[in-house]
Chains A and B, each alone.
Chain A
Amino acid sequence: MSIAHHPSAPMVAAYAAGRLDFGQHVAVATHLFSCQHCRNQVRAAEQTGGDLLSALPPAPLANDALTRIEARLAEPDKPPPPNPVATSDIPGLPSFLRSYRFDAWRPVAPSLEARAIRLPHPTPTRVFVLKARPGSRLLLHTHKGFELTCVLAGGFSHEGGHFGPGDFDIGDSAVSHEPSIDAGEDCISLVAMQGSLKLRGLLGLLVQPFVRL
């Protein structure tokens, strides 16, 4: 298996429990699209959910609850919603995500472009696709809040290792990194971010006003 970097076990469990904020959900789902290992973890966590559900002390329903539902069993089911139409040609995205609206590419910083994804549910997390030119180097930065990155194409390296397609990177205020982009092809990633990034160093101070993320 070529995927080396995964979301943390608690993050995968929170995904399966339905407790992730939607922006984070999108980032983890994108990783799952390529990662059988983590899909298995999700299944395992769902088994746990089923077992925990079975073990809950029951909360009794109204006496006529079963009668009332039996009266509805013959009702026709609502027609399923139409299949969403995939509009994005970006590789590596799960199908529900491909049907969302993508803003146009816009420059963010030298060698760096982004296009925002319009999510259908309100979330404090911004989700966008980031494209960095081959061989470029991003500035040393830290995060207020967090940044989840799932590589879709190409790759990058920082002191945490090398990240290729499917790999999942977690940045937060405890991490300070300076990714360098692989030579040869654009590095395209899906990023879910809360808060903002802070560039470090003198150069960072100088360019911070021009970097729009």
Chain B
Amino acid sequence: MGSIRDAGRQDWAAHLAAVAMHADRAAFASLFAFFAPRIKAFMRRTGESDAQAEELAQEAMLTVWRKAALFDPATTGAAAWIFTIARNLRIDAQRRARRDGAGATPAATEEFEIDDAPLPDIQLAAAQSSAQVRSALAQLSPEQIRVVEMSFFEEKPHTEIAEALSIPIGTVKSRLRLAMKRLRSLLGEET
């Protein structure tokens, strides 16, 4: 893998703005061409069937179209925003599957909304951080990226990651720790 070094070169934030402001279908088609197959791949990795992954990718892109006006480039990156949409839809889909589709349950989206708390200094330097995170990830070796991916996307416990990659579990943990530490230091957080 390692293609992460080239990822996100496009200015997807501008495409989202065009969708939000002008219902720009050409911009949407570009977003669809790039993100839909990757959202499908994400769904496949988290255990959805091919048909279900395709359906969820469609649903996610429809949500992107409808909610584009809510995207705020000052607080988050375009790919991160689309990731959270896919994440929330996956959680909803898994809950529906467990309940055999019966009954409405609260949507995961609102369970991630915690920003109404009266905190000072709510503004995060996340727009800045997207580029920083990308450059931090670019500094990781392909093996480290693989560990981060498996942990992040594939719900694999550390023991299974260790088995799949034939590395000791201590190595899995230290690679993850290193990745998080690097992210923290790049975001100016003290650890």
Q: Which residues of A contact B (CB under 8 A)?
A: 9-10, 13, 17-19, 22, 25, 29, 32-34, 36-37, 39-41, 43-62, 65-66, 68-70, 72-73, 77, 81, 84, 94-96, 120-122
**Other contacts beyond A50-B130, A53-B79, A59-B44: 4, CB < 8 A:** A54-B4, A59-B53, A69-B62, A73-B62
Q: Which residue of A lies closest to B133 (CB)?
A: A47
Contact A61 to B54, CB < 8 A, known contacts A44-B183, A52-B149, A72-B62: yes
Which of B29, B82, B91, B106: most chain A CB closer than 10 A? B106
Q: Are B41 and A39 in contact (CB under 8 A)?
A: no
Q: Which of A29, A37, A50, A96 has the most CB of B within 10 A?
A: A50
Main secondary structure of the interface of A (DSSP, over half): helix
Q: Whose C-beta in chain A lies nearest to the C-beta of B12?
A: A54
- Whether B184 contacts A41 by the Cβ 8 Å rule is yes
Tell me, in angstroms, the Cα distance from A165 to B134 when the chains sit together: 34
A61 to chain B, nearest CB (A): 6
Given A44-B187, A66-B29, decide whether A54 and B79 contact each other with a Cβ distance below 8 A. Answer: yes
Whether B14 is near chain A, meaning CB under 8 Å from some CB there, is: no
Contact of B184 among A9, A22, A50, A68 (CB under 8 A): A9
A-B contact count (CB 8 A): 192
Name B29-46 residues within 8 Å CB distance of A: 29, 32-42, 44-45
Among B33, B119, B155, B181, contact of A36 (Cβ-Cβ < 8 Å): B119
A56 to B79, CA, bound (A): 12
Chain A CB within 8 A of B102 CB: no
Those 4 A-B pairs whose CB atoms lie nearest each other, nearest first: A50-B79, A50-B80, A58-B37, A54-B7
Instruction: Point out the residue from A47, A68, A120, A122 that lies within 8 Å of B129, measured CB to CB.
Output: A47
A52 and B105 within 8 A (CB): no
B138 to chain A, nearest CB (A): 9
Q: Are B124 and A50 in contact (CB under 8 A)?
A: no
List, in ascending order, chain B residues with CB within 8 A of A9's CB.
177, 180-181, 184
Question: Would A49 and B38 be within 8 Å (CB), given that A29-B114, A61-B57 are in contact?
Answer: no
B108 sits at the interface (CB 8 A): yes
- Contact indicator B88/A18 (Cβ below 8 Å): yes
* B78-A51 in contact (CB<8A): no
**Alpha-carbon gap, A10 to B150, bound state (A):** 13
Per a CB cutoff under 8 Å, which of A50, A60, A70, A72 touches B77? A50
Contact A61–B183 (Cβ < 8 Å): no
Cβ-closest chain A residue relative to B108 = A18
- CA–CA, A45 and B87, complex, Å: 12
Neighbour of A121 across the interface among B33, B35, B81, B95, CB < 8 A: B95
What are the residues of chain B within 8 A of A81 when measuring CB–CB? 106-107, 110
Judge if B86 is at the interface, Cβ distance under 8 Å.
Answer: yes
Q: Beyond A54-B38, A61-B57, is A13–B111 a contact (Cβ under 8 Å)?
A: no
Closest chain-B Cβ to A71's Cβ sits at a distance in Å of 11
Q: Are A51 and B4 in contact (CB under 8 A)?
A: yes
* Interface contact A53-B82, CB-CB below 8 Å: yes
B187 adjacent to A40 (CB under 8 Å):
yes
Q: Does B21 contact A (CB under 8 A)?
A: no
Whether A96 touches B111, Cβ cut-off 8 Å, given contacts A17-B152, A18-B91, A44-B133, is: yes
Check B106–A69 contact: CB distance below 8 A. no
| A59 and B41 alpha carbons, distance in the complex (Å) | 5
Residues in chain B near residue A48, CB distance under 8 A: 133, 137, 148, 152, 183
